[in-house]
């Protein structure tokens, strides 16, 4: 397995910034400012566990930049998170929102914990205590969290409810927009749960159209079978693409007939991972990466595809559902081998796009129909995909650096127009 410890994710993201900043001639003072987050918050908070013990947890919220709008970004509950990981992920959110033309800045945060080992009640108490510790460092017009690895719509609802209870009771209902990715009953948007994966698939269909590649009857492999991975498999299935290998933190599986994504997702919900699912044969992580297929969707965590994995891959296209799944060495091998990569900044931006729709709906007390949400998302994703492709062609750049360059041009222009106060 690619070693997570010691991987300098933030340095990797900063190197992409440097390369793109060079290409667009971003002034040095702005490069220096954007290289570091504006605010880095760490909180330590106690939680009462089911057995009565008090356990101390460490939580983070990194606010990278709010030039274009309120800070925005997910909350990750995972045992292997670090300050630098959150700095990397927060920075990516700034570029992602800028690339997509969404009036948000970038943030990320979460709690160092193992959500798969917490009971539902413990998970709730961690979420509530963490929210309380963050206090007014989050807010509907300041910093708006969303789900990420280890968190989901239910966690967002607990956060919303906790936050609401910390303000004056007359202002409670105005706080609904403090988080996005909530359940629809509690103010979430139709289509948000599937939005990230739907966006990934819009990129894949645009790629297929441009390359005259008929998706019907084709195959995919998916790493991570949580929100993004399972929904991607489901949506691809509707286009006739079958998922022939999957894997997560519990193990890896293969089947020649293609998985039933509904059944596999049900198994994951019950058992916490794909391991033990009867509809597939257990394989090793190495077998997974060597599995022949047309498309690979990494939808787990960063730094999963290094030199070894990239050399093993037998696919034509990688669409990054996860943030940073390819490390730079892995990406270089893919480029040499002619495996096209649709980068995270673009491919997984459907999530924050529909989060923005949710925020707008909350602020206006509106509920949009699923068709409206999906229609807007499709136009945005396809439009941005074509813009990144065009920019990459015109400037002879990889899609990743083209996506960064567009994001930087936009933010650079905003900075030029605003300047600094006073």
Residues making contact with ligand NAD (CB under 6 A): 147-150, 196, 224-229, 248-249, 273, 299-301, 321-323, 348, 351
Taking the least distance from each CB to ligand NAD, the nearer of 26 and 195 is 195
Distance CA 56, CA 78 (A): 15
Q: How far is the CB of 140 from ligand NAD (least distance, A)?
A: 19
Q: DSSP states of 190-249 as a string? A: TTHHHHHHHHHHHHHHHHHHHTT---TT-EEEEE--SHHHHHHHHHHHHTTPEEEEEEET
Taking the least distance from each CB to ligand NAD, the nearer of 169 and 270 is 270
Taking the least distance from each CB to ligand NAD, the nearer of 191 and 351 is 351
**Environment class of residue 63 by beta-carbon count within 10 Å: exposed (0-12), middle (13-18) or buried (19+)?**
buried
Q: How far is the CB of 197 from ligand NAD (least distance, A)?
A: 8
Closest CA to 13 of 310, 376, 400, 308: 400
Contacts of 263 (CB under 8 A, 6+ apart): 279
Residue 96, both tokens: 């992602």
Compute the residue count for the chain: 422
Taking the least distance from each CB to ligand NAD, the nearer of 14 and 348 is 348
For residue 259, the 8-state DSSP code is -
Q: How far is the CB of 352 from ligand NAD (least distance, A)?
A: 7
Task: Please state the separation of Cα 278 from the chain's center in Å.
Answer: 29
Q: How far is the CB of 346 from ligand NAD (least distance, A)?
A: 11
Taking the least distance from each CB to ligand NAD, the nearer of 57 and 86 is 86
**Is residue 218 annotated as part of the catalytic site, yes or no?**
no
Pick the catalytic residue: 38, 72, 96, 108? Answer: 108
Alpha-helical runs (H) found in 57-118 = 83-100
Q: Whose CB is nearest to ligand NAD? A: 226
Q: How far is the CB of 142 from ligand NAD (least distance, A)?
A: 21
Residue with tokens 């060597």: 290
Distance CA 297, CA 197 (A): 10
- Omega cis (within 30) before 422: yes
Taking the least distance from each CB to ligand NAD, the nearer of 17 and 299 is 299
Q: How far is the CB of 300 from ligand NAD (least distance, A)?
A: 3
Contacts of 395 (CB under 8 A, 6+ apart): 23, 402, 405
CB 181 within 8 A of CB 188: yes
Taking the least distance from each CB to ligand NAD, the nearer of 138 and 195 is 195
Q: How far is the CB of 32 from ligand NAD (least distance, A)?
A: 27
Closest CA to 79 of 126, 144, 136: 126
The catalytic site residues sit at 108
């Amino acid at each position: 397995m690619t070693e997570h410890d010691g991987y300098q994710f933030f340095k990797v993201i900063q190197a992409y910034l440097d390369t793109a900043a060079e290409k667009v001639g971003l002034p040095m003072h702005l490069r220096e400012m954007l290289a570091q987050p504006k605010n880095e918050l760490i909180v330590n908070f106690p939680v009462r566990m089911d057995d009565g013990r008090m356990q101390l947890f460490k939580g983070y919220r990194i606010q990278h930049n709010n030039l274009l709008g309120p800070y925005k970004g997910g909350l990750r509950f995972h045992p292997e998170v670090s300050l630098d990981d959150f700095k990397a992920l927060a920075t990516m959110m700034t570029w992602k929102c800028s690339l997509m033309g969404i009036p948000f800045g970038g943030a990320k945060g979460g709690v160092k914990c193992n959500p798969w080992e917490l009971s539902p009640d413990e998970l709730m108490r961690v979420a509530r205590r963490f929210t309380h510790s963050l206090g007014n460092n989050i807010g509907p017009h300041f910093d708006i969290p969303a789900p990420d690895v280890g968190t989901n719509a239910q966690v967002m609802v607990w956060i919303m409810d906790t936050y609401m209870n910390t303000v004056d009771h007359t202002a409670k209902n105005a706080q609904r927009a403090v988080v996005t990715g909530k359940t629809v009953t509690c103010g979430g948007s139709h289509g948000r749960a599937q939005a990230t994966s739907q966006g990934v698939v819009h990129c894949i269909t645009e790629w297929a159209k441009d390359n005259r590649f008929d998706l019907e009857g084709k195959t995919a492999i998916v790493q991570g079978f949580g929100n993004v991975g399972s929904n991607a498999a489901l949506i691809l299935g509707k286009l006739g693409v079958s998922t022939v290998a999957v894997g997560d933190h519990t193990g890896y599986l293969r089947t020649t007939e293609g998985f039933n994504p509904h059944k596999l997702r049900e198994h994951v919900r019950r058992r916490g991972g794909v391991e033990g699912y009867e509809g597939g044969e257990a394989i090793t992580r190495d077998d997974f990466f060597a599995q022949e297929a047309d498309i690979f969707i990494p939808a787990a965590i960063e730094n999963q595809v290094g030199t070894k994995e990239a050399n093993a891959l037998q696919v034509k296209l990688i669409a990054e559902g996860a943030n940073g799944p390819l490390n730079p060495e892995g990406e270089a091998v893919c480029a040499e081998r002619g495996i096209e990569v649709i980068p995270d900044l673009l491919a997984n931006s459907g999530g924050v796009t529909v989060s923005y729709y949710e925020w707008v709906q909350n602020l206006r007390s509106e509920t949009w129909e699923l068709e409206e949400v999906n229609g807007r998302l499709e136009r945005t994703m396809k439009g941005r995909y074509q813009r990144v492709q065009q920019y990459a062609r015109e400037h002879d750049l990889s899609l990743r650096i083209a996506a960064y360059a567009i994001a930087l041009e936009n933010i650079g222009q905003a900075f030029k127009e605003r300047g600094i106060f006073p």
